Structure 1
Amino acid sequence: MASPAEPAWTLHVRGKGGKLRAIPLPSRCLPILRAYRLARGLPAEPAPLESVPLVHSEKRDALGHSGLYDEVKAVLQAAEAKVPAGDAATRALIHAASTHWLRHGYPYRSPAIRSNACSPAVTAAP
């Protein structure tokens, strides 16, 4: 993850076919990411060229597929619990969400990914 002098972060990921991608993170994500980093024993701001994965294990290694799935489901369950009981539609939507849904739903709405010449057909391929 890169942290330039301005208050914007860029997430560097290895995507489909091993291609490196740079994804700018919305500024509204930064307070949450800073709090997460502090809770994990890291400084709030990443060092230049830091290689610690954004979501990592206790040993600061990258999470495997099942570990990442468990983390995403825990966040979704916490979000679902905060939705008012009378808002059944939102609760159902969050309950139905999955890592697969997030992976294939976000790129269609993300100008950052589309601007990397990644067509929806390639992004959506399994």
Structure 2
Amino acid sequence: MPENFNRDSWASWYAEQHLKTDSAIEKIFYLPTNADEREIRFIEINTLIGDRTEDSLEPIDFGIDMGTDNAHRLIVLDVTPAQWQQIQSENLSLPDGWSLDEMIAFPNDQLETLPQ
């Protein structure tokens, strides 16, 4: 766990922990664009959740209170592989204000870019 708050360092640490502890998570995408400086946004590709074809995508907000110097928000949007494909093809919308611009994939060797 990083000692001081640095959004990118914390995002990397959280991604590593989530990938280690949840075998259903195939990939994690960190979305820093448009996020508050104390907000970490993840899309997690999860093979064990059911498709929610009728509902809009709703992220879960894990407000993290580690004292005033390290307080931040971790917001996770779990999606199925099929939903991820729909997001990439722009057939399924992300929550308001979320963007795939400058996304970072974890683990880094699986970095994906969107088709132009």
One fold, TM greater than 0.5? Answer: no
More strand as a share of residues: 2
Query: Based on CA coordinates, which of the two structures has the bigger radius of gyration?
Result: 1
The higher-RCO structure (CA 8 Å, 6+ apart) is: 2
More helix as a share of residues: 1
**TM-score normalised by the chain length of structure 2:** 0.28
**TM-score normalised by the chain length of structure 1:** 0.27
